[in-house]
Amino acid sequence: MLVVAACSSAAPSSAVTPPPTIAGCALFPSDNPWRQDISHTALSPYSAAWVRSVGTAGHLHPDFGSDPSYGIPYTLVPGAQAKVPIRFTAYGSQSDPGPYPVPLTARVEAGSDRHVLVASGNCHLYELYGAYRSGSGWAAASGAVFDLHTDRLRPEGWTSADAAGLPILPGLVRPDEIRAGHIDHALRFTVSRTQKGFIHPATHQAGSTTSTLVPPMGARFRLRASYNLTRFHGAALIVLKCLKKYGMIVADNGSNWFISGATYRGWNDTDLDQLKSVPGSAFEVVNTGPVRH
């Protein structure tokens, strides 16, 4: 079971919070959108409409827990990991060509999406969607490579291993960050309906409507500053503090208000269940740029 150390709500003024990391590398540069503090960012003019679209009476839901069939697993590899061939079966024209350093033992997400996420010591992320082991490598519907040293986005209109064209791993709730007592980046979540458009850093739409009253891919939701957190503790409190400061980004079509996290048998499900009491009405949407089509 994941044990969370107590942490104060504010660090001493002299303290410097280290950057979020993965595989020993900083999780993108400090000015990257995933690391942007949006606690004081102005509201989107569509804030109320987009929250209503997702559902004010709905509630947050952690799409991860101690059951290993939940969550999205990831694999860490050294920078010298051998690369293997990748064959794309659906979106090859919008995928970064292989080979990728994805070991045949890499963990595969349960369920139909079958994501495979690899963070390398060479400071790149390698992500696959619809992945199956194939011979000496992998077959996948799509794939994307992200350089953690840069803010470079996918080409306009391109997908990734995620519908929005975003990296997946940076948006997960990870147990190592919960143990550290803070999450210093935005999270990934899903909504059931999206409009045919996207907001950077998303680069791809997978919407079903042209209505401007429905959020596009890349829309960034923030937990209201006034929402009282005194009754929360442990991992739930850390997640909610993150959602006030960094928010969560619409990354895929799926169940409303479902937040993504890493697959991990040690999650405390009773602790995470606190998140299910947070209503959609506690959120607002910030203005992080225009909707692109």
* 37 lies in the same domain as 138: no
* Domain assignment of residue 54, yes or no: yes
Average pLDDT (63-70) is: 97
* 175 lies in the same domain as 282: yes
* 282 lies in the same domain as 196: yes
Residue 9 has pLDDT above 80, yes or no: no
82: DSSP letter? P
* 131 lies in the same domain as 200: no
* 183 lies in the same domain as 219: yes
Q: Is the pTM of this model over 0.85?
A: yes
* Domain assignment of residue 277, yes or no: yes
Q: Which pLDDT belongs to residue 2?
A: 83
Distance CA 110, CA 115 (A): 8
* 264 lies in the same domain as 133: no
Give the number of domains in the chain.
Answer: 2
Element (H, E) at 54: helix 47-54
Q: Which pLDDT belongs to residue 13?
A: 43
Average pLDDT (49-74) is: 98
* 198 lies in the same domain as 216: yes
Residue 238 has pLDDT above 90, yes or no: yes
* Domain assignment of residue 140, yes or no: yes
pLDDT in tens, 246-293: 999 999 999 999 999 999 999 999 999 999 999 999 999 999 999 999
Domain extent, residue 228, equals 21-69+169-286
The overall average pLDDT reported for the chain is 95
Is residue 207 within 8 A of residue 218, CB to CB? The reply is: no
pLDDT > 70: what percent of the chain?
96
Q: Which pLDDT belongs to residue 3?
A: 62
User: Of 150, 151, 183, which is closest to residue 17 (Cα–Cα)?
Assistant: 183
* 62 lies in the same domain as 174: yes
pLDDT in tens, 103-138: 999 999 999 999 999 999 999 999 999 999 999 999
Q: Which pLDDT belongs to residue 18?
A: 86
pLDDT in tens, 74-100: 999 999 999 999 999 999 999 999 999
Cα atoms found within 13 Å of the Cα of residue 96, Cβ hemisphere only: 20
Q: Which pLDDT belongs to residue 5?
A: 52
Domain end, chosen from 97, 117, 147, is at 147
pLDDT in tens, 149-187: 999 999 999 999 999 999 999 999 999 999 999 999 999
* Domain assignment of residue 40, yes or no: yes
* 50 lies in the same domain as 178: yes
* Domain assignment of residue 291, yes or no: no
* Domain assignment of residue 139, yes or no: yes
Structure tokens at 129: 């969607």
Residue 10 has pLDDT above 80, yes or no: no
* 183 lies in the same domain as 242: yes
What is the side-by-side order of every strand in the sheet holding 248-253? 61-63, 258-260, 187-191, 248-253, 220-223, 283-286
* Domain assignment of residue 270, yes or no: yes
Q: Which pLDDT belongs to residue 8?
A: 39
pLDDT in tens, 252-261: 999 999 999 9
* 175 lies in the same domain as 229: yes
Is residue 86 within 8 A of residue 99, CB to CB? The reply is: yes
Q: Per-residue confidence at 1, pLDDT binned at 50, 70, 90?
A: confident
* Domain assignment of residue 187, yes or no: yes
* 132 lies in the same domain as 263: no
